[in-house]
Structure 1
Amino acid sequence: MRSDKGGTIMDRLDLAKKEAELLEQGTPYAAVTIVHSEGTARTAGKMLVLADESIYGTVGGGAGERLAIRDAAALLAEGKNAVCHYDLDSPLSAVGKACGGELTVFIESCCSTRPQLMMVGGGHVGLALIRAAKLAGFAVTLLDTRGEEQIGTAIAAADRFIPLENFGPALAQTKLPPHAYYVVATYSHAADGEALGGVLQHADAAYVGMIGSARKISAIREKLLAQGISPEQLAAVHAPIGLALGGETPEEIAVSILAELLMTRYGKTKADL
């Protein structure tokens, strides 16, 4: 098989397939392409960088690639493009591997036009909402501390699954798409409260909602206020979540939540209904 410093033909085909897959899933990514290099830096190559800095492909590894990953994630968070130049002879670029030369890359943010739903919790309501939201055009990411044995059906239904060690710091520190819609519906009141605190660290959210009774929601709000969450942040949370349609089954609750998500997406209010 023919190959060059830009990788084998199959490498490039695999990367093209992965890019098509990300687009189909609605997963935002940044495409990093080498436009110029000198010295020992790779002369051709392309890499896809996700919000959590996971990558597909390569632009040569080493210091240049690590710097490109850092910049790509930052640009993706802002939905911007840029040409970035790296002097790999500079001491500032020496981060564990010697590789001289210069590298210039073009970084393009590829943000899906599909709205992004971050479903925190893969229980009965979560599964029903994942299915309904996908029918309505949302790209759905499931986040949960449980795995295949407990929520395998929900994991399979979602476009993407992010396993969490916990719903607090781990969720807060996970890099997620900007302007996403967050729905909290975990397996316990305590986990819901922890998850809401983690979600509220993503200040660029388009929507935050949490399932639960008025009593439960009041208790969680008081606890989060004591932890330093601002009244303004909590006031923006949709809780109780969804429109008051009257249903009680997981599927009916999911429809009421989806209706509120769509209302928010299209700039409507309950007064417009």
Structure 2
Amino acid sequence: MREILPALSRWYEAGATFGLATVVSVSRSAPRDPGAAMAVGPDGEVVGSVSGGCVEGAVFELAQGVVESGEARLETFGYSDEDAFAVGLTCGGEITLLVRPVSRESDPGFAEVAAAVAGQRPVALATVLAGPAPRGATLAVWPERVSGTLGSGGLDAAVSADARGELAQGATGQRHYGARGERREDDVTVFLQSFAPPPRMLVFGAIDFAAAVARIGGFLGYRVTVCDARPVFATPKRFPGDVEVVVDWPHRYLRGTVTDERTVICVLTHDPKFDVPLLDVALRSPAAYVGAMGSRRTHDDRLKQLRDTGLGNAELARLRSPIGLDLGARTPEEVAVSIAAEIVALRWGGSGAALTDTTGAIHPPGTGPRDGPE
């Protein structure tokens, strides 16, 4: 939903009612993940996508219908063996959508949630899908407070606790409760959508390759920082405008920077006096990805020096070096694609093989988003 917020906020502030469709579950090769959204505005304007084009026509009509009726609907779309051109997903997957009307009257807390998301402040939105509580009822959960209600104090308390846990992980998905928030019951189904701040990409070494990696990192939704100890190279004009540029010794900067399980670290300095102390810090951090540029000979020498710092086999096994997938890349832009491909493959458990050489589901079950990019 993040990418369509400007249009939603514009409609909301104008006092209009719009229909908002959100993907709340998927199976098999569905084209969009939970959290993907599409909205239909008061003049028939459409923003966003829930299926890449397969069912958007039907969702358009649903969105207009919920605006007219004022009642949320839960709809499932799947592949039709009898008619692949009927309303359905020709990719063979299945998606379930919550389509609900949004206005100042029906959702008075929407503006506050939208402002938090736009300002990159963490917030989770809990929405009732099924149960005795009204379908489409919402509860907004911040780390320190909540707004709205799902119908009962017990349910609100249980959902708030779970939402904060999901928010810490950047996770999105469904949870089930009793009518008063009881665990291990199935009376109420709630969709928890996390809007965590964008994950961080830390790029060390302000070289041409770093500029290309920074650009593709921003494209993938990361908040990118480039760090180099050499001020002649670490200048903002050499990088995209939204990239933070820091002049500092890499290991010192990383030691003083908060990292988490979504952070990716790309070491492109290609200089042992920078690389070794930096990687000693990086490989002890919780970062999801640590990659370092260099030849295989450089990698072997680097491993010896890192062992001397006290790193063990488990920590050294986390190091992706030489960095990137084997794409035959040569230019900085091609190398950036190679690095980005490795990051994506590691995040989702991909093999890096050509899809034409693989079998089975393209998107295996249980591989939902962990950082709330929608």
Count of residue pairs the alignment pairs up = 185
| 1:172 equivalenced with 2:261 (yes/no) | no
Match of 1:143 among 207, 224, 227: 227
Could you say which residue in structure 1 is the equivalent of 2:306? 224
Structure 1 portions without partners, runs of 5+: 1-15, 25-29, 34-74, 81-108
| 1:130 equivalenced with 2:221 (yes/no) | no
Does the C-alpha gap of structure 1 residues 18 and 127 become closer, same or farther in structure 2, counting only changes over 3 Å?
Answer: farther
Contact 2:250 2:274 in 1 (8 A): yes
In structure 1, how many angstroms separate the alpha carbons of the residues matched to 2:231 and 2:272?
Answer: 19
Q: Which protein is bigger by CA-based radius of gyration?
A: 2
Does the C-alpha gap of structure 1 residues 206 and 149 become closer, same or farther in structure 2, counting only changes over 3 Å?
Answer: closer
The percent identity for this pair of structures is: 28
Match of 1:241 among 313, 319, 323: 323
Could you say which residue in structure 2 is the equivalent of 1:190? 273
Contact 2:214 2:243 in 1 (8 A): no
Q: What letter corresponds to residue 217 of structure 2 in structure 1?
A: A
Q: What letter corresponds to residue 135 of structure 1 in structure 2?
A: F
In structure 2, how many angstroms separate the alpha carbons of the residues matched to 1:218 and 1:191?
Answer: 16
| 1:79 equivalenced with 2:154 (yes/no) | no
Could you say which residue in structure 2 is the equivalent of 1:111? 196
Does the C-alpha gap of structure 1 residues 149 and 258 become closer, same or farther in structure 2, counting only changes over 3 Å?
Answer: closer
Offset, 1:272: 6.5
Q: Determine helix, strand or coil for the equivalent of 1:186.
A: coil
In structure 1, how many angstroms separate the alpha carbons of the residues matched to 2:215 and 2:317?
Answer: 28
Q: What letter corresponds to residue 331 of structure 2 in structure 1?
A: T
Offset, 1:20: 3.6
Could you say which residue in structure 1 is the equivalent of 2:365? none
In structure 1, how many angstroms separate the alpha carbons of the residues matched to 2:278 and 2:238?
Answer: 18
Match of 1:120 among 188, 201, 204: 204
Could you say which residue in structure 2 is the equivalent of 1:251? 333
Offset, 1:23: 5.4
Could you say which residue in structure 1 is the equivalent of 2:347? 265
In structure 2, how many angstroms separate the alpha carbons of the residues matched to 1:233 and 1:269?
Answer: 21
In structure 2, how many angstroms separate the alpha carbons of the residues matched to 1:236 and 1:254?
Answer: 20
Offset, 1:155: 5.0
In structure 2, how many angstroms separate the alpha carbons of the residues matched to 1:119 and 1:139?
Answer: 11
1:207-233 per-residue CA deviation (whole Å, 9 max, x = no partner) reads 111110001111111001011011111
Structure 2 portions without partners, runs of 5+: 1-113, 123-141, 146-163, 170-193, 356-374
TM-score scaled by length of structure 1: 0.56
Aligned-residue Cα RMSD (Å) equals 3.7
Q: Determine helix, strand or coil for the equivalent of 1:270.
A: coil
- Greater helix percent: which structure? 1
TM-score scaled by length of structure 2: 0.42
Contact 1:131 1:157 in 2 (8 A): no
1:45-74 per-residue CA deviation (whole Å, 9 max, x = no partner) reads xxxxxxxxxxxxxxxxxxxxxxxxxxxxxx
